[in-house]
Amino acid sequence: MIAIRPAEEKDLPEILEIYNHSILHTTSVYSYNPHTLEMRKKWFDEKMAAGHPVYVAISENKVAGFIAYGPFRAWPAYKYTVEHSVHIHPDFRRQGIAKSLLEKMIDAARTNNIHAIIAGIDSANIPSIKLHAQFNFKEVAHFKEVGYKFNKWLDLIFMELVLETPMNPIGD
């Protein structure tokens, strides 16, 4: 049984373990060096201060995965657009956890008056591309050879989900 709930500070060591596995063993994060607990704490505190959700999936009393979103770009006119990331512990992949987390995050985006959600996905990550397509994310960009990791050039795909929000956008 999987339970989805808002992340808490106590979850950060397990979130860090999942994220560092992604850094060290996958192309889902275009970074080379593992993060520290202090870096994850700063990340979490910034999400909380900005009102951006972080959710965890709990299975067998462990954090099986997490999802979060944050600003897409820093300029004010992008305030209704976010970029998200979802990461699943290797022991819990292919169990529908990412799908449950993504569904929860999309609901939160609607509640938070978000209009567009962006997913940056390595072009070789077919499971993630298919997952996002299930939720009507559409490929809107394909950047060729913009990352370099594991001795090869990586293509990055942007997928976007446009929601029927915001209900009452605030002009500039």
Query: What confidence tens digit (pLDDT) does each residue in 75-130 have?
Result: 999 999 999 999 999 999 999 999 999 999 999 999 999 999 999 999 999 999 99
Asked whether the CA dihedral 106, 108, 114, 119 is positive or negative, the reply is negative
- DSSP H helices in the chain: 12-25, 37-50, 97-111, 126-134
pTM: 0.93
Domains of the chain: 3-162 (3.40.630.30)
pLDDT score recorded for residue 166: 60
pLDDT average, residue stretch 44-69: 96
pLDDT score recorded for residue 141: 98
Residue 134 in this model has a pLDDT that exceeds 60 = yes
Residue 172 in this model has a pLDDT that exceeds 70 = no
pLDDT band at 165 (very low <50, low <70, confident <90, very high): confident
pLDDT band at 167 (very low <50, low <70, confident <90, very high): low
pLDDT band at 171 (very low <50, low <70, confident <90, very high): low
pLDDT average, residue stretch 65-73: 96
Q: Which residue has the tokens 């979850």?
A: 11
pLDDT score recorded for residue 169: 64
DSSP three-state, residue 114:
coil
Residues 6+ apart with CB under 8 A from 113: 80, 165, 166, 167, 168, 169
Interval 9-44: pLDDT, tens: 999 999 999 999 999 999 999 999 999 999 999 999
